[in-house]
Amino acid sequence: MPVLTIYRLLTIGLTPLAGAALGWRAKQGKEDPERIGERMGAPGLARPAGRLVWLHGASLGESLALLPLVERFIQRGVEVLVTTGTVSSAKVLRARLPAGAVHQFLPLDAPQFVERFLEHWRPDIVLFAESELWPNMIRAIHARRLPLVLVNATISRRSAARWRRLPGGARTLFGEIDLCLAQNAESAARYLGLGAPRVRVCGNLKFDVPPPPVGAGRLAEFNGAVGPRPVWAAISTHAGEEEIAIDAHLSLSSEVPSLLTIIVPRKPERGAEIAALASAKGLAVGLRSRDGEPRRGVQIYVADTVGELGLFLRAVSVVFTGKSLTAEGGHNPIEPAKLGCAILHGPHVENFADIYGELAAARAAARVSDAESLARALQFLLSDPSRMRKMGRAGAEVVRKLGGASQSIMAAIEPYLAQSALEQK
């Protein structure tokens, strides 16, 4: 029996359990309890009249990368539906989506939910970001003869190898994608090898995304609380990296006694755990969700809130980007680079190797390997603000030069937009 048929039958069989599973996830904070119906394909909003483009990004980073396209579609007079799969992405998009765009949660990949979703929204064009591939959804889109485009598409060597273990299923699924617009030549070659019929390289949309916003009043209030203290931030950290940041702070405390370390964990719900870890090492800790602005005397400040990264990146001049020391792959350094931060990172940045390579070549980023080397790099930069600012300016210039993917993507999908406009007449 073909693998895609087996998958379809399994998801049909598990459909009756979806409500209970989603309810359990809601209790864990992983679903919005008021919007669980959307995860089963039930619409939370009416479909707007006219042409509708549906864009999907799995989580926060992927969905934010779609914002430049959202703006361009709205300028063209096209209605926009954006879907995501995480609670944190929904919270951030609520503040950042422009008028003319609406948000829904992506339904689970069960045929009943998928059909309910598509029947209500009836998109004219479908754009999926990066490597988000749900077999039942893709097959249903193809059956309705809707153009499906992968944008900002990327696929790792490891993921491509997993797909190749299912050659029949992979070639069927990838063959139903109308157009694949890859971030780079390596991903483009992998998509072609898996059966995507039309592939182009358009660059990385994330270079075109505006930096995360913050109100001037909030920034002034935060900077007033910090005062003249030297400050740095470890952002998007994963388990183990917070302890390294805390140890680096301890190493620096004798040289820089007034140092403030801001830790922004990738998962805000880990904030209390991180605060306890720092307290156990004898440090004065502030937890943003509990204590508000950093009080005088706080040494480790845990920023366990959603949607405030723009505030913290503007309050510092040097950051460490997480998922690069104790976890693999790295996180996107574009946002701190756009805001002029000098960037430190661990050795494991495979998911963004090209970007980190460009930053390193411009001397805008430096690699560290442990708490000791992190502390040395921080001391070097904090003691020489002019060098730190020079690194930041170099990074901002790198990401400026690498922009333009949104324009290339819009040009590539113009035939689909033109066709949808003809069909509306």
Which of left, alpha, beta for 225 (phi over 0: left; psi -120 to 50: alpha)? Answer: alpha
Q: Are strands 148-153 and 179-182 parallel, antiparallel or unpaired?
A: parallel
Helix (H, G, I), strand (E, B) or coil at 45: coil
Please give the order of strands across the beta sheet that includes 285-287.
285-287, 300-302, 260-265, 231-237, 318-321, 342-345, 365-367
CA 138/CA 196 separation, integer angstroms: 13
Neighbour-count burial for 90-128, b at 16+ CB within 10 Å, e otherwise: bebbeebbeeebbbbbbbbbbbbbbbbbbeebebbbbbb
- For 234, 248, 287, 392, the CA distances from 335, given in Å and listed in that order, are 13, 23, 23, 12
Helix (H, G, I), strand (E, B) or coil at 54: strand
Helix (H, G, I), strand (E, B) or coil at 317: coil
Residue 330 gets which letter from DSSP? -
Question: Which residues, including other chains, have CB under 8 Å from residue 390's CB and lie 6 or more apart?
Answer: none
CA 38/CA 45 separation, integer angstroms: 10
Contacts 24+ apart (CB under 8 A), 27-34: 29/87, 29/269, 30/86, 30/87, 31/87, 32/87, 32/90, 32/105
CA 383/CA 386 separation, integer angstroms: 9
CA 226/CA 222 separation, integer angstroms: 6
Q: Is residue 119 annotated as a catalytic residue, yes or no?
A: no
Containing 80, the helix (H) or strand (E) segment is strand 79-84
Helix (H, G, I), strand (E, B) or coil at 129: strand
- Catalytic option among 62, 79, 130, 241: 62
CA neighbor of 179 nearest in space, from 147, 205, 155: 147
Active site residues: 62
